Amino acid sequence: MTSTRYREDLDLLKAAAIEAGEIALGFFRRDPQVWWKEGNSPVSEADFAVDLMLRDTLVGARPDYGWVSEEMQPDDARNISANRFFVVDPIDGTRAYLRGENTWCVSIAMVEDGRPVAGVIAAPAMGEIFEVTADGAPLMNGAPCAVSQPGEGEPLRLAMPDSMRKRVESSGGEAFVSEPAVPSLAYRLALVASGRLDGTLIRPRASDWDIAAADLLIERAGGLLCGRAGTPTIYRSEGRRHDILMAASQTAMPRLQRLAKAVPD
């Protein structure tokens, strides 16, 4: 890869994501212990093991960077005023992971001035790794990737949760091809960035760690991840949840925004 301003950070993220994937694979399909968080969301000993390794590795290498993670506890917050911080989902798609499905991933981003500038999404059970910097090409397994560019008359290939799909299908808007809704949001967005989906709708309450790395990947691949207003997301070191989001190529986005009108906030 051509050297970029963020190359050293990307190298750190990529090495950490690969090691994290190996740890997760060590628990995969081996009945790891599971606990239940608020909202009936599962978390496993694999999530905690990966999160601990990533925190030790990333913060150890960049002690002046902040830290935002899905599994962090209230007293884990550090450097919340930091200009640069990591945004981490140790295992995105934990439900799929616990069912023994392959479509889960490790998602790591480094944010600077409110926007991700380096990101890695590693899907080890799929044999895929995505990497990107704000001034470099988006790569999938080392090769450049790009969003699809469907023609105006072509139905969009879209993935979304069933509740959203039913509303969109019954709205009388333009027809689209409904693809399976991948449980891992980060990996689903990577499918958009690599052109295997034309777009996706994302239900409200997605968190920064679900989307930060994929946001940059999609942007550099020629697409956009945004809310109804069509503006890029600003990330803060305390983390936050989002309203409805959508992702597609710049040319397909207006069509996706029209379809999204059928879905309430």
Condensed to tens digits (0 to 9), the pLDDT of residues 33-47 reads 999 987 789 999 999
pLDDT at position 67, please?
Answer: 93
Under 8 Å CB-to-CB from 244, ≥6 apart: which residues?
201, 202, 203, 204, 227, 228, 260, 263, 265
pLDDT at residue 1, as a whole number: 46
pLDDT digits (tens, 9 = 90+) for 66-117: 999 999 875 665 555 678 999 999 999 999 999 999 999 999 999 999 999 9
pLDDT of res. 98? 98
Same domain, 104 and 184: no
Name the pTM for this structure.
Answer: 0.95
Residues 11 and 44 in one domain: yes
Same domain, 12 and 138: yes
What residues make up the domain containing 27?
Answer: 7-144
pLDDT of residue 261: 95
When divided into structural domains, the chain yields a total of 2
133 and 36 share one domain: yes
From CA 159, how far away is CA 65, in angstroms rounded? 34
pLDDT tens digit string along 204-257? 999 999 999 999 999 999 999 999 999 989 998 877 889 999 999 999 999 999
Using CA atoms, how far apart are residues 85 and 81, in angstroms rounded to an integer? 9
Residue 38: predicted pLDDT: 79
Q: Using CA atoms, how far apart are residues 111 and 86, in angstroms rounded to an integer?
A: 6
Q: 2 in a domain, yes or no?
A: no
243 and 136, same domain (yes or no): no
Q: Are residues 124 and 160 in the same domain?
A: no
Instruction: Phi first, then psi: give them for residue 68, nearest 5 degrees.
Output: -130, 125
